[in-house]
């Protein structure tokens, strides 16, 4: 259970979540951390056009830490220019929090 929480605390940052979770919990959980967070980014990209029509904040929530970099151009395209600052700020905050959150959750297990 703790491993799952730590993996999801990667917030979509698969290049950090995988290795850090692997260092704390072992290679299997590290691989899970990589794949789960990579899939989060891919699902965000694939569903962005549809979810942005429902609400402009949904793709930002789905994207997590990736809204600061890799999915930001798509966020601007589908959610509008005025959402760029919100998407970047959300991604930045989650990127700063991710290593601390993964480590803190890892210390519980």
10-residue averages of pLDDT along the chain (109 residues): 94 95 96 96 96 97 95 96 96 97 93
Calpha distance 70→50 (Å, rounded) = 18
DSSP class of 107: T
| 102 Cβ contact partners less than 8 Å away, ≥ 6 residues apart | 6, 9, 10, 16, 17, 20, 21, 24
| Domain count for the chain | 1
Domain of 18? 2-106
Is this prediction's pTM over 0.85?
Answer: yes
Cβ pair 15, 23 in contact under 8 A: no
């Amino acid at each position: 259970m703790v491993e799952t929480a730590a993996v999801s605390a990667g917030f979509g940052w698969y290049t950090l979540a995988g290795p850090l979770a692997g260092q704390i919990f072992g290679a299997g959980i590290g691989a899970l951390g990589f794949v789960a967070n990579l899939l989060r980014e891919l699902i965000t990209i694939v569903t962005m056009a549809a979810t942005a029509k429902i609400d402009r904040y949904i793709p930002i929530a789905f994207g997590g830490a990736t809204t600061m970099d890799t999915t930001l151009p798509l966020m601007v395209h589908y959610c509008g220019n005025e959402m760029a600052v919100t998407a970047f700020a959300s991604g930045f905050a989650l990127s700063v929090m991710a290593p601390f959150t993964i480590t803190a959750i890892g210390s519980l297990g």
